[in-house]
């Protein structure tokens, strides 16, 4: 099994809704940061990849047909090379709204996560917290999440780089609220007889993440 759909959009741009939509269309399973919580042994893989160490993408994506969200989107260039036939979806939204959403959800929930994991003596939780800080907060945003202009600049440059790099016939830029039509047209899939998934709110984030338990 190989990755057929590569989500290059950053977290909080509708990536969780897209995960559920892709799985509904048959691209099951779809990787998402949720998978790291469910599979704690994945955390060291992503940390090693960020450090530039050689990794085998087939190891972490075994059993997956698609991937969206962080940490994968931080490696969209490498994944585009590794899976050159994969269709690429760039989810994006208004930059100001995106920044507020990130600060209120994943940034807020990760504050103190390393210290809490150390206090709980949970090595898997500690590895995940360290990976998220290394790959996203300290890595992608250079430890400057409180610098709104800088972070929004990172967001805009990332989106532009994807648009400039991926051939237009291989790329779908997806905005919130567009529903099934552009996605199904891009993937040559029939439109499901149900509403497009919508799990983007702060409340949805807190509910879903609070319910996750690692796979045994």
What is the pTM for the complete model shown? 0.92
Q: Is residue 23 part of a domain?
A: yes
Domain residue limits at 39: 5-211
What's the CATH code of the domain at 180?
3.40.50.300
Kindly give the confidence (pLDDT) of every residue in the chain, 216 residues in length, as a single tens digit, with 9 standing for 90 and above.
799 999 999 999 999 999 999 999 999 999 999 999 899 999 999 999 999 999 999 999 999 999 999 999 999 999 999 999 999 999 999 999 999 999 988 898 888 777 788 788 788 888 999 999 999 999 999 999 999 999 999 999 999 999 999 999 999 999 999 999 999 999 999 999 999 999 866 566 556 655 555 655
Token pair listed for 151: 């972070």
Distance between CA atoms of residues 51 and 103, nearest Å: 25
CB crowding 158-175: b at 16 or more within 10 Å, else e: bbeebeeebeeeebbbbe
Residue-level length of the chain: 216
Q: Is residue 47 part of a domain?
A: yes
Q: Is residue 216 part of a domain?
A: no
Q: Is residue 88 part of a domain?
A: yes
Structure letter (DSSP) for residue 10: P
Query: What total of structural domains would you count in the chain?
Result: 1
Distance between CA atoms of residues 21 and 27, nearest Å: 9
Element spanning 166, H or E: none
Q: Is residue 164 part of a domain?
A: yes
Q: Is residue 97 part of a domain?
A: yes
């Amino acid at each position: 099994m190989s990755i057929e759909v590569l989500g290059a959009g950053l977290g909080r741009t509708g990536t969780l809704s897209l995960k559920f939509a892709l799985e509904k269309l048959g691209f099951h399973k779809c990787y998402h940061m949720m998978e790291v919580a469910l599979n704690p042994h994945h955390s060291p893989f992503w940390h090693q990849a960020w450090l530039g160490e050689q990794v085998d993408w087939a190891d972490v994506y075994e059993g997956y047909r698609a991937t969206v969200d962080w940490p994968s989107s931080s490696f969209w260039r490498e994944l585009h090379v590794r899976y050159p036939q994969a269709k690429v979806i760039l989810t994006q939204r208004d930059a100001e709204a995106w920044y507020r959403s990130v600060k209120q959800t994943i940034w807020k929930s990760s504050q103190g996560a390393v210290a809490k994991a150390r206090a709980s003596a949970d090595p898997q939780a500690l590895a995940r917290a360290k990976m998220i800080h290394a790959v996203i907060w300290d890595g992608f945003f250079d430890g400057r999440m409180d610098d709104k202009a800088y972070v929004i600049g990172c967001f805009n440059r990332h989106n532009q780089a994807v648009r400039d790099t991926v051939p237009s016939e291989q790329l779908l830029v997806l905005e919130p609220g567009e529903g099934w039509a552009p996605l199904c047209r891009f993937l040559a899939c029939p439109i499901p007889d149900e509403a497009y998934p919508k799990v983007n709110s702060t409340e949805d984030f807190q509910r879903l993440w609070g319910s996750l338990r690692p796979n045994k």
